[in-house]
Amino acid sequence: MPTPTHPKAARFLFSAILALLINGCSVLPHYGSRLPGNHAFVVYWPPPEDSGELRLAVKDNIDMKGVVTTAGSRFFAKTHQPAEKDAPCLAIARERNVRIVGKTNLTEFAVSPSGFNEDFGTPKNPFDGWRRLIPGGSSSGSAVAVATGMADVAFGTDTAGSIRVPAACCGIVGLKTTHGLVPIDGVHPIEPAHLDTVGPMARDIAGTVKGMDLLQRGFESKYNAAVAAQPAGRNIRVGRLTLAGTDPKVDQAVDRALTAAGFQVIPLDQVKSEKFQQAKDNGNTVAATGAWISDQQYLYAPGVSPRTKSAILAGRIMQGEAYQQALAKRPEWQAALRQTFSKVDFIALPTLQGTPLFIPPNLKVGLLEARMLKFQNTVAVNFAGNPALALPVPLKDSSLPVTSLQLIGPPLSEARLLNAGRLVEAAVKKEPASS
């Protein structure tokens, strides 16, 4: 297939390939057919009752010695041997003899933002009512394991939002780390050179700090120092980024949370919103191409889902000039963020443009996957390499009690980000839930 010679043409063809996902080859997964319970885990090792140990869940695209890394794929489960060694990101947890309770479910090869998994069943969103909600992907199992109390902390991976999106969908906290801070060796890759990261997920900020302390030595001390330096929000400057297409109720929830925390809120202009959208488009191009670079050998593999193969094929279309032009824009975007962070400490915006989307009954899921790429406000952060925190804030006049605030920080600001999250978390506890 020829490579498009213009980025707009590439994006058009990318959308066309995604549209192919809604053909008769891609159908909704059969829920409950393969994994027990809420489908959070590919393999689960129940801990002793009342042990008091920290329970850690690990996304099943991260190698664990003696366990097959399925990457959410039946094909991998059948053809791969158990990992010969742990991924380096598990080193601190192993040294401390942390109780690992299982490997969590994910979208196949971590390429889908919805959280669907045809092979192992789709993790069940804890907010499900009479209609099912997406759990968010790709770290869907990690989010559900934490949200339902099956784990205290979970490790996820984030290439275009795969920690923050499921955290937002399931009402928990998720931290996307600075690119390169946590080693990604032993992690099934998508785009490791520019986008892939490992990070913690937990029900609250305190748990997320514990998770980060398992990923970076001495992190808890860094966090305590950040708390001591900024014990209140009045001296923290937050640039508020407003994006077109966001549900007004979600924007209002974010604004209430920032005000309640006592931050100095500084509106960012339309130019910065436009640059964010451009970075989002470029980040999606790089992420899509990464799927082709990393997984092209599985394009015709038996047992790999048609939906995953379509995502790989979309990346094949985006490679070449579109990919190179997108990467060429990365330094400009990083410079724009540096300029913004010379005036504010963090940038705030919703993690998602609205509440989690419903799973369409008896329909194909490809259209929903394409919609998710526009619905999530996450990939621009990966494109820059910066850290970002997603945390729940109360949502009024909605069937759901919370939405998600995203705070973006300068590189290596994870401790300060979590301190800002601590202030928001404490403040919104006084806020009423949905009315």
Which residues pair with residue 65 across a beta bridge?
83
Indicate which residues carry an active-site annotation.
59, 138, 162
What is the C-alpha separation between 421 and 97, in angstroms, rounded? Answer: 28
What is the C-alpha separation between 169 and 354, in angstroms, rounded? Answer: 10
- Cα–Cα nearest to 223, from 428, 417, 425, 424: 417
CA torsion through residues 183, 187, 192, 198, sign: negative
Which residues pair with residue 240 across a beta bridge?
267, 348
Helix (H) or strand (E) run with residue 157 in it: strand 153-158
**Residue type at position 135:** P
Q: What DSSP string runs through 130-146?
A: SS-B---SSSHHHHHHH
How many Cβ atoms from other residues are within 10 Å of residue 158's Cβ?
32
What is the C-alpha separation between 350 and 240, in angstroms, rounded? Answer: 10
Quote the DSSP letter at residue 233. S
CA torsion through residues 371, 377, 382, 388, sign: negative
Helix (H) or strand (E) run with residue 113 in it: none
What is the C-alpha separation between 230 and 373, in angstroms, rounded? Answer: 35
- Which position has the token pair 């989010």? 143
SS3 110: helix
Phi, psi of 73 (to 5 degrees): -125, 130
Quote the DSSP letter at residue 173. E
Return the beta strands (E) in 16-131 as ranges: 41-44, 55-59, 99-104
Q: Are strands 55-59 and 99-104 parallel, antiparallel or unpaired?
A: parallel
- Which position has the token pair 């960012």? 268
What is the C-alpha separation between 123 and 56, in angstroms, rounded? Answer: 17
